[in-house]
Structure 1
Amino acid sequence: MIINWDILKKSVLGTLNLRERQMLERWLDESERHRDFYETVRKHYAEPVGKLEFSDGELDASWQQFTQRAKRKSGRLIRLRAAAACAAAVAVTLGIWTLNRPASTTPEERSALHITAGTTQAILCVGDGERILLSDREQDSEWQKFVAEEAAPAREEAADSIPPAPEQIRIEIPKGGEYRLRLPDGTTAWLNAETVIVYPSEFVGEGRAVTLSGEAFFDVAHDPSKPFTITTADRLEITVLGTRFNVSSYLDVDRAQVTLVEGSLSVADGERKVTLQPSQQAVFDRTDRTLSLHDVEDPSGCCAWTNGMFDFKLQPLETILDAISKWYDIRIVYDPAAVARFGAITLQCDRRSDFTHVMEILQEVTDLHYCAEGSLSVADGERKVTLQPSQQAVFDRTDRTLSLHDVEDPSGCCAWTNGMFDFKLQPLETILDAISKWYDIRIVYDPAAVARFGAITLQCDRRSDFTHVMEILQEVTDLHYCAEGKTVRITF
């Protein structure tokens, strides 16, 4: 594993976030050499400048040599080939794809990305909606501790009556996460990024039923008397007795896939049903709702993510980019037509590598170019949304809702920093409010009359005097106004 240099420095400064701290701990656990180098960094930044053994530049150079040796050692494990002969120029951004960029990102651009790989993380939802962040140290069974605590009062009340029904457990894996889970029957489930699984705290009755949205690999505990059934978000039903298989059923992808590694299972979508043998894959196409069966040369590639690897054998570039997006918790925007021109691509590498390293490998065979534009999270206490470029979070104070919207041109929201009013299709009320604040006046109007106007566009220099701005508004709204000191009355 190769770690980002900034994570070492942030650790010394005490500014690591949860994901970065987990990455550092994993890196330190890998070898004595890692721990020795980290101690060198820690001591360097703890010393007064006058007592430093070597300069910051010398330390940076030492780190470069250290990582180059690590890359040479791990380089043999990374194999990449492409079955694509075409070389369409595609540019990825974490917000916008652009074409005809330079042949590669500069070292300065790459060093500025700092997009780290996903980590072990999950959210447990229990009881009346309480959400608990699960740690990576007790992956298999930590959920049971919290569920037991939640169910204790109910068990006490039901001591002399009928035992309470099993509680429904919901585990959510966010983008940039993965988690290993042991279900009540001993079945192990590996959950990939952006996945939700729901199951009971105890399997009672004749079957074992769970629901799934996203991707998971299951190693089902054998129990012929209790079939294990998975229902996906689009109502596919997978039935097994004891086996190992991978389910990929993301609703934002056109196809759901069930790949069997060991044992046997059946997949049904209501009217149709197929039975799989090892090294076979059931594919459900959501566009035409067909269910088909295919042979897979090496089914291990479909579950390589459970071992910390990207292993795509002759897959569409779109499929690979989607997996990268989910694992690194980023939004990748591209021209679908340009991506579609690529044939099947094979990518095999450690998915614990940072984003830049993975994209460098893709660049070798696709000639793509990319640039990053960052992301932002907004929370109001209970709710949280994560914004990507050209998105806007809106908090409505009347009903206290927090929502996310796409914005065609976000530059208008900050045009005021360049001395401009730039309102594109905005309510007249919003425009009048901005004018009131800027010119330090009170604008009085009939809200019902103002509300009758649709969306309005106003673009002008806000350093203009008030009269000029109002004249522009008059051209599109037919409003009239009169000034009374610091109060302006609007009529129509």
Structure 2
Amino acid sequence: MNLEFNKAEDFLLDDSFLRYCTRADHSAIQYWESWILANPEKKVVFNKARELFLLINGQQGQLDAAVNDFRVLLQEHVNPHTPRRIVWYRWAAAAAILVLAGAGTWYTVLTKRHTEKSESEMMAKADVMPGSQKAQLVLGDGTTIELDSLKKQSLKEDDGTRIDKGEGKLVYDATRKTGDAVVFNTLTTPRGGEYQLVLPDGSMVWLNAASSLRFPTRFTGNERTVYLTGEAYFEVAAEATQPFKVQLENGAKIAVLGTSFNIMAYSDEKEINTTLVTGKVKVSTAKGNSVLLTPAQQAVLQRSNSELAVTPADIDKTIAWKSGLFEFDDDDISLVMRQLARWYDVDVKFTGPIPDKHYTGSIRKQSTLSQTLRILKTAGIQYKIEGKQIVVEVKQ
């Protein structure tokens, strides 16, 4: 598509510009910041397009009255012979282009609605904020520390290991260790929290919501072993003489030398997924079965029967959570709701049978819960937020 970017809708048709607006894609941010410096004459329409995106995508609570206006357009993305699908990533652009092309007054209407009280604004009082960087650290002596409220910038373990605290991040330095005893720490994120960790060997770990990692303050012996529940992304420091291993609570184990990979092992999911980004990993089950992964492959372990299979991996989707996005690709509503429940620390209740609906697209994790659920509403999902519970009802 060859666009000259003379109108706001030209920008909204560009996937890179949408990623720039979400602030979740570093390369897109760099590109568009450089682009606007090189094209200052486009600044007015550029800013208008960005503001329009934010009004639609960031202030979704303002759009209830307009949902019916673009529902027909959204239906063009639905295959009538399969469960209903809606492309979330493009929904803001599609909505904007529909009205810009058809009425020419959308921007004025949205600006006016932005300043008026509406039903959604009243509901905002009961809204749920997105998760944040928070976690709990348990030291070797059992001392529990709430990291988001910790004032100190550094801690010290009994074995001399120094623990530096940054913004949403812990860094372990074992160079000052004393004694031979091995001390274990545990980093746990609650629902609605995530955190980063640099292990004493320099390996980096991103811990997703409702997850836990148990690890030694220094690695000794002929291997480096950590213990994971939930989900984490690893970038492992290479050390050929000391393989890195991740032990899961069901007995499965992932062994690597130096690589980057993601493990999703939540207890409420039917599968444990290990996705390899770079390098090689070996995934073994408690029964002794194993597979060797190469980049862009995923090992899928069924919890019910310990069956292990290798499938192609969607890397962008798998690690989108680390970059501030929910990424869905033909995922059913149950999986979608489980992810939202972990991030917003809420429970989900279906008033009737769980509908057979599937969804594809991206949502910013920094959206409030009501903003995120508004997107579901465009696909016919009816909901209420009652305290810390989402009540879902689907109109067939």
Q: CA deviation at 1:313?
A: 1.6
Q: Which residue of 2 aligns with 1:273?
A: 290
Deviation per CA, 1:358-413, whole angstroms, max 9, x where unpaired? 11112223x111112214xxxxxxxxxxxx69xxxxxxxxxxxxxxxxxxxxxxxx
Residues in 2 aligned to 1:206 and 1:240: alpha-carbon distance in whole angstroms: 13
Counterpart in the other structure of 1:292 = 309
Deviation of residue 262 (structure 1)?
1.2
Change (3 A) 1:168 1:119: same
For 1:130, give the aligned amino acid.
Answer: T
Question: Structure 1, residues 449-469: CA drift from partner, whole Å, max 9, x if none?
Answer: xxxxxxxxxxxxxxxxxxxxx
Q: How does 1:361-400 map to 2 (within 5 A)?
A: 361-365=375-379, 367-375=380-388
Question: What is the DSSP-based 3-state SS (H/G/I as helix, E as strand, rest coil) of the residue aligned with 2:136?
Answer: strand
Percentage identity across aligned positions?
Answer: 29
Instruction: Decide which of 260, 276, 281 is 1:244's aligned counterpart.
Output: 260
Match of 2:318 among 302, 308, 330: 302
Q: Matched residue of 1:301: which SS?
A: helix
CA distance in 2, matches of 1:183, 1:336: 46
The answer to whether the 8 Å contact 2:252/2:283 transfers is yes
How far the C-alpha of 1:151 sits from its partner, in A, is 3.7
Instruction: Tell me how far apart the structure 1 counterparts of residues 56 and 353 of structure 2 sit (CA, whole Å).
Output: 38
Change over 3 Å in CA distance of 1:259–1:149 after alignment to 2:
closer
Decide which of 346, 355, 369 is 1:355's aligned counterpart.
Answer: 369
Q: Report what 1:129 is aligned to.
A: 142
Output the amino acid matched with 1:357.
Answer: Q
1:349 match: secondary structure? strand
Distance in 2 (CA, whole Å) between partners of 1:165 and 1:240 is: 25
The match for 1:456 is: none
Please say if residues 233 and 251 of structure 1, whose CA atoms lie closer than 8 Å, have aligned partners that are also in contact: no
Quickly say closer, same or farther: Cα 1:137–1:124, change in 2 above 3 A: closer
Superposed displacement of residue 198, structure 1: 0.3
Cα displacement (A) at 1:338: 2.5
Distance 1:83 1:356, change over 3 A: farther
Normalising by structure 1, what TM-score? 0.52
Note the alpha carbon deviations across 1:281-325, whole angstroms, 9 max, x for none: 1111111221111112x3121011111111112222211110100
Check the 8 A contact 2:140/2:157 in 1, yes or no: no
Q: Secondary structure at the match of 1:372?
A: strand
Counterpart of 1:348 in structure 2: which amino acid? S
SS in 2 for 1:222: coil
Shift of the 82–172 alpha-carbon distance from structure 1 to 2, 3 Å rule, reads farther
Matching residue of 1:99: none
User: For residues 353 and 83 of structure 1, do their structure 2 counterparts lie closer, same or farther at Cα, with a shift above 3 Å needed?
Assistant: farther
Q: State the AA in 1 paired with 2:343.
A: W
Q: Which residue of 2 aligns with 1:26?
A: none
CA RMSD in angstroms comes to 3.2
The Cα of 1:347 is off from its aligned counterpart by 2.8
Query: Which of the two has higher C-alpha Rg?
Result: 1
For 2:132, the equivalent position in structure 1 comes to 119
Most deviating of 172-181 and 282-291: 282-291
Task: Look up the equivalent residue of 1:349 and give its one-letter code.
Answer: I
SS in structure 1 of the partner of residue 137 of structure 2 = strand
SS in 1 for 2:350: coil
Q: Who is 2:224 aligned against? A: 208
Pairwise mapping of residues 140-179 of structure 1 onto structure 2 (< 5 A)?
Answer: 145-146=154-155, 148-152=156-160, 163-179=179-195
Find the aligned partners of 1:286 and 1:213 in 2 and give their Cα distance: 14
Distance in 2 between residues matched to 1:358 and 1:349, nearest whole Å: 7
| Residue aligned with 1:338, SS | coil
Could you tell me which residue of structure 1 aligns to residue 54 of structure 2?
Answer: 71
Partner SS state of residue 235, structure 1:
coil
Q: Secondary structure at the match of 1:111?
A: helix
> What's the counterpart of residue 230 of structure 1?
246
| Code of the aligned partner of 1:240 | V
Checking the alignment, whether the CA contact within 8 Å between 1:126 and 1:150 is kept in structure 2 is: no
**Maintained 8 Å contact 2:242/2:257:** yes
CA distance in 2, matches of 1:131, 1:82: 50
Aligned pair partner of 2:338 in 322, 333, 344: 322
TM superposition shift of 1:109? 5.8
> What residue number does 2:23 align with?
none
Q: Which SS does the other structure have where 1:356 is aligned?
A: helix
Which residue does the alignment assign to 1:45? none
Q: Which residue of 1 aligns with 2:199?
A: 183
Task: Confirm or deny: 8 A CA contact 1:256 1:285 kept in the other structure.
Answer: yes
Which one of the candidate residues 284, 308, 328 is aligned to 1:312?
Answer: 328
Q: Say if 1:324 and 1:364 are closer, same or farther in 2 by CA, change over 3 A.
A: same
Change (3 A) 1:252 1:86: closer
Cα-to-partner distance string for 1:104-128 (whole Å, 9 max, x where unaligned): x942663233200000011100133
Tell me whether 1:199 sits opposite 2:199 in the alignment.
Answer: no
> Structure 1 residue 351: deviation in Å?
0.6
SS at match of 2:225: strand
Note if contact 1:82-1:314 (Cα within 8 Å) is conserved in structure 2.
no
Q: Could you say which residue in structure 2 is the equivalent of 1:334?
A: 350
What stretches of structure 2 of length at least 5 have no aligned partner? 1-28, 30-47, 59-73, 86-117, 162-177, 391-396
Rounded to whole Å, the distance in 2 between the matches of 1:184 and 1:219 is 13
Deviation at residue 82 of structure 1 after TM alignment: 6.2
Cα 1:149–1:286 change in 2 (3 A) is: closer
TM-score, normalised to structure 2's length? 0.63
